[in-house]
Amino acid sequence: MNYTLHQLHIFVKITQTKSITKASEELHLTQPAVSIQLKNFQDQFEIPLTEVIGRQLYVTDFGREIAIAAEKILAEVHAINYKTQAYKGQLSGKLKLSVVSTGKYVIPYFLSDFLKKHQSIELILDVTNKTKVIESMEKNEVDFAFVSVLPEKLQVEGIELMPNKLYLIGSEKIDNNLNESPNSILEELPIIYREEGSGTRYTMEKFISLHQLNVKKKMELTSNEAVKQAVVAGLGYSIMPLIGIKNELLNGELVIIPVKGFPLSSIWNLIWLKNKGFSPVATAFLAHVKQEKTKIINEKFGWYLDYIAK
């Protein structure tokens, strides 16, 4: 047999996604390239690794056994690489984080200098909603999670990083009195929601429930960017974190609607499972965040701090 590590990597990804199309997207390869490598890999075995029924690709029992073996081989190759880098005095290994979607505007600044300093580190960063972030932490699949709403059922430790402020936004101003109750405003506007499981939606619904508001849900979208574009287009109003709408505020595409009781507040936290055993990479990153937190916030988020201090 003469299979390559590249073929093993592609085959494992195909078994994970059960789709050549999805595998090619995640590997940033063309579909023909993935198909050719799968065929070349299959040609080295007399027993089928996959089969196509209808338009669905299935992995055979034999294929699953080969995939398990391939994952072990790839893990050993990574271990060799990491040990080589460590022997040369370089910090190496994987750093795995799961981040709520709003966190994509924040967490890169806490990673940038650390990764530049330790270029042998492989970053695995999953940006998703709050529910999926907590699920990945509960399964111990990540080193850290970045959230604005702390999990209720998990024992975690963490570091508070920055305040998270949410405002009512629209594409144009409306006539209202800031001293009015939120009922007179929020109950009259078509409100665009984030999907179930979103931290932004959790904070928003907590406020609505507390004030017993009868809010008109115009639509439900699955990302902050989608909500933002819908508001810009004039499809409705929404409650969004300030951190993600800087450019739209500056160029006048969005405006903040003043409402009594706003902004809504939470805190961005970097958290980890209590008593978790850290790798050297995770330990180094945590030390970096603790040491550089104030400097990063002041240098990168001055505009944000100035705005919320008004």
Same domain, 178 and 234: yes
Which tens digits make up the pLDDT trace of 106-132? Answer: 999 999 999 998 888 889 999 988 889
Residue 65 and residue 10 share a domain: yes
Q: Within this chain, do residues 258 and 176 fall inside the same structural domain, yes or no? A: yes
Residue 192 sits in a domain whose CATH number is 3.40.190.10
Residue 281: how many CB atoms within 10 A of its CB?
A: 22
E strands in 117-234: 121-128, 144-147, 156-170, 190-194, 216-221
Number of neighbours of residue 96 by Cβ within 10 angstroms = 19
H or E stretch including 39?
A: helix 31-42
**For the chain, how many structural domains are there in total?**
3
- The single-letter code of the amino acid at 217 is K
On whether both 157 and 172 belong to a single domain, the answer is no
Which of the listed residues 67, 87, 107 is the one where a domain comes to its end?
87
Distances (CA, A) of 268 to 107, 236, 285: 10, 27, 17
Residues 132 and 279 reside in one and the same domain: yes
In this predicted structure, what is the pLDDT of residue 110? 96
E strands along 46-175, which residues?
Answer: 50-53, 56-59, 93-100, 121-128, 144-147, 156-170
What pLDDT, on a 0 to 100 scale, did the predictor assign at position 98?
Answer: 95
Q: Are residues 118 and 104 in the same domain?
A: yes
Structural domain span for residue 249: 163-265
Q: CA nearest 254: which of 268, 269, 237?
A: 237
Among the candidates 87, 118, 137, a domain finishes at 87
* Residue 166 three-state SS: strand
Whole-model pTM above 0.85? Answer: no
| Same-domain pairing of 142 and 209 | no
Return the pLDDT at 177.
57
Q: Which two structure tokens, joined as six digits, stand for 184?
A: 């007179």
**H or E element that contains 6:** helix 5-17
Question: pLDDT below 70 — which residues of the chain?
Answer: 81-90, 175-184
Task: Say if residue 13 is exposed, middle or buried (CB neighbours under 10 Å; 0-12, 13-18, 19+).
Answer: buried
Cis, peptide link before residue 108, omega less than 30° from 0: no
For residues 143 and 276, what is the distance between their CA atoms, to the nearest angstrom?
8
Residues 98 and 178 placed together within one structural domain of the fold: no
Residue 173 three-state SS: coil
Q: Are residues 285 and 151 in the same domain?
A: yes
Instruction: Tell me how far apart the alpha carbons of residues 125 and 105 are, in angstroms, rounded to a whole number.
Output: 13
User: CB–CB of 155/272 below 8 Å?
Assistant: no
User: Same domain for 16 and 45?
Assistant: yes
Examine the fold and report which residue of 87, 115, 132 is the final residue of a domain before the chain moves on.
87
Give the max Cα distance, the chain: 76
Residues 271 and 125 in one domain: yes
Instruction: For residue 44, give the CATH number of its domain.
Output: 1.10.10.10
Cβ distance 78 to 268 under 8 Å? no
pLDDT tens-digit readout, 267-295: 999 999 998 988 888 999 999 999 999 99
State the pLDDT at residue 88: 59
190 shares its domain with 234? yes
Per the document, the length of the chain is 310
Give strand pairing partners of 221. Answer: 194
